[in-house]
Amino acid sequence: MTKIDAKIPAGALAQKWTEYKSTTNLVNPANRKKLDIIIVGTGIAGAAAASTLGEQGYNVKVFCYQDSPRRAHSVAAQGGINAAKNYQNDNDSVHRLFYDMIKGGDYRSREANVYRAAEVSVQVIDHFTALGVPFARDYGGTLDTRSFGGVQVSRTFYAKGQTGQQCLLGTYSSLNRQIKKGSVKMYPRREMLELVLIDGKARGIITRNLITGEIERHSAHAVVLATGGYGTIYYLSTLAVNSNPSAAWKAHKKGAFFANPSFIQIHPTSIPQLNEFQSKLTLMSESLRNDGRIWTPKKKADNRPANEIPEEERDYYLERRYPAFGNLVPRDVASRAAKERCDAGYGVGKTGLAVYLDFKDAINKQGKQAIEDKYGNLFEMYLNITGIDPYAEPMMIYPAGHYTMGGLWVDYELMTTIQGLYSIGESNFSDHGANRLGASSLMQAAGDGYFILPNTINNYLSKEINTPKITTDAPEFADAEKSVADRLNKLMSVKGSKSASSFHKRLGKIMWDYCGMSRNEAGLKEALKLIAALKKEFWHDLNVPGSMYEVNQELEKAGRIADYFEVAELLINDALNRNESCGAHFREEYQTTDGEALRNDTEYSYVAVWEYAGEDKPHVLHKENLTFEDVEVKARSYK
């Protein structure tokens, strides 16, 4: 049986990474040319890893399902990226960033990984700046920063509300340089549909060419998944519509354990759903909470236009409940507070499922131009989508599914429980515990890709220098290819009457209603029954038009949704297992008298690590116990 070993280096927390780097095994440059690495994903994490490993001299093959690597979901990131630079001289430090993340994650993350993420954050910003990322600058010409939720310093670097786009373009340019040099080969419009293991080691992948439908074999000495998150399990979410968990799930079914699947972040400031036909929600960045004030009317069902509600009749409920952090409380806290207000009848808009995010005070104080300079593109987006001018009236916002803290379990080297299979960026579970702090995902994805994986993968590859090129003629490749073809044929041959998306929408609703912002035992058990019935219906009544050997987006969706059902079941079982509330996982049975999350450190101070045991068999739970040597574990308070 596979045992989990986090391989955390010995020594003082602040020295572990330096010590690791100076003692780990290396591969000499001449040998690197003999070794192939597959990277699936071209978001910040995958593109950063591909360009760095290409520069180091490895042969890198990189895959994405989009037509260009720069369309990866990272392009959508808006508000900023954290780094412990302390440019503002406001008491920031690597240790404070580390502490904020541990506390923000509600003490459910691994100290050593979090410290390292904070440590490399300073290199990440320098690197992006060197690549030419146009971060905002202050009057004196130095890099500007702003604040994000759950912190009391200003450490978030930003490029208006397009930070992800600018960082991805920078990363993409270094990726292109390697593609031109021939060290990286790019495979766009490919979907990884299976992982290939030989003698227990990750040795390749099976992909479908999304243009021709051809099923292809690709081999390597190691495989890296940088495939992003699965917040789309709610159907309506802030993510790109095609983001999906299938690559990670295929790896999971081949032996990579899955950690904390139920830790999903619900972002407090999305534009509310406008109609039944929507397939996605649009985020209004957390950065807006630097200047925007959140409120609801003090009177229930008050349907006066916002500007007609006088100051004394407004409840700035975050400032009231959390005076120390005010509008900048972490996302889980802000989302639950919005839900509480709306459930209690104070919500605004046609559905009552919205609260106001108001810039009136900020505009009066700083002037319209200053607000436009900081958030102009976000305001424009809001106006285009809703028809309401947020300079003149408050925005309406509501929480939406956003980011997955859970993901493939990885050790300190970012290796999964499969030898030679790594997971980086949002696809792994490693740094954010039960709740991610804003602007720390780009930081982690870039840190993993640029600075961590390129320093850990050598340790494994140093033992592979005598392994010849992996042949795709091996029977393991033939078997994997056959299983992919069988699965696609199975989906094509249901020949029912309903589209894949219609099932996704129904699954998303079950997940949102029973396993969203708050959960309880009875609801979770009900959700399991509803999902089992929906899954059965899917396999009897799915309709996939067209054929396998052509562009067929319905087939792509169907394959992903078939996986979503299984992911959803694990997610709910994980939520049922965790009889406590922590971070984004709010079990209604476990709360304080004033409605805050109530952790149970005695019984649940562990990462829940799930092993796939076979079709229709319950997953096996492993526990990675969390020990905190450098921080005192206490109740999280933002009051």
Ligand X SMILES: Cc1cc2nc3c(=O)[nH]c(=O)nc-3n(C[C@H](O)[C@H](O)[C@H](O)COP(=O)(O)OP(=O)(O)OC[C@H]3O[C@@H](n4cnc5c(N)ncnc54)[C@H](O)[C@@H]3O)c2cc1C
Please give the residue ranges that form the binding site for ligand X (CB under 6 A): 40-46, 63-66, 72-74, 76-81, 163-164, 190-192, 226-229, 238-239, 243, 246-247, 283, 285, 402-403, 425-427, 439-443, 445
Between 226 and 266, CB nearer to ligand X: 226
Report the length, in residues, of the chain.
639
| Minimum CB distance to ligand X smaller for 437 or for 528 | 437
CA–CA gap between residue 120 and residue 214 (Å, rounded): 41
- CA 571 to chain CA mean position, Å: 15
> Which residue lies nearer to ligand X by CB, 43 or 349?
43
Give dist(CA 563, CA 557) in Å, integer. 10
Edge-to-edge, what's the strand order for the sheet holding 222-225?
184-187, 59-63, 36-40, 222-225, 421-423
In the complex with ligand X, the residue whose CB is nearer, 45 or 609, is 45
The beta strand positions in 21-80, using DSSP E, are 36-40, 59-63
Q: Which is nearer to ligand X, 27 or 334 (CB)?
A: 334
Report yes or no: 216 and 190 within 8 Å, Cβ to Cβ. yes
Distance CA 286, CA 269 (A): 7
Please report how close the Cβ of residue 585 comes to ligand X at its closest, in angstroms: 18
Q: How far is the CB of 436 from ligand X (least distance, A)?
A: 8
Q: Which is nearer to ligand X, 64 or 582 (CB)?
A: 64
| DSSP states along 341-399 | HHHTT---TTTS--EEEE-HHHHHHH-HHHHHHHHHHHHHHHHHHHS--TTTS-EEEEE
Helix, strand, coil shares of the chain as percentages rounded to 5?
A: 40, 15, 40
E-strand spans in 220-280?
222-225, 258-259, 264-270
Region of 573 on the Ramachandran plot (φ > 0 left; ψ -120 to 50 alpha; else beta): alpha
Residue 633 CB, shortest distance to ligand X, in Å, is 25
Q: Which residue in the block uniquely carries the two structure tokens 């994903």?
A: 41
> Helix, strand, or coil here: 421?
strand
Angstrom CA distances, 402 to 127, 200, 283, 303, 408, stand at 27, 34, 9, 29, 17
Nearer to ligand X, 46 or 420 (CB): 46
Q: Which is nearer to ligand X, 291 or 464 (CB)?
A: 291
- Two structure tokens written together for 393: 């009236």
Two tokens, residue 200: 């227990």
Assess whether 331 carries a catalytic annotation. yes
Residue closer to ligand X (CB basis): 306 or 418:
418
- Which secondary-structure segment (H or E) carries 480? helix 475-492
CB of 448 to ligand X, least distance (A): 8
> Whole-number minimum distance, CB 19 to ligand X, in Å?
27
Catalytic choice (331, 336, 341, 519): 331
What is the DSSP-derived secondary structure letter of residue 625?
E
Alpha-carbon dihedral sign for residues 583, 586, 587, 588: positive
HEC profile of 509-543: HHHHHHHCCCECHHHHHHHHHHHHHHHHHHHHHEC
> Whole-number minimum distance, CB 229 to ligand X, in Å?
6
Closest distance of CB 260 from ligand X, Å: 16
Rounded CA-CA distance 488/550 in Å is 13
Residue with token string 């390292």: 116
Measured from each CB, the residue nearest to ligand X is 43
Residue 69 contacts residue 177 (beta carbons within 8 Å):
no
Closest distance to ligand X from the beta carbon of 160 (Å): 11
CB of 297 to ligand X, least distance (A): 28
- Residues known to be catalytic: 331
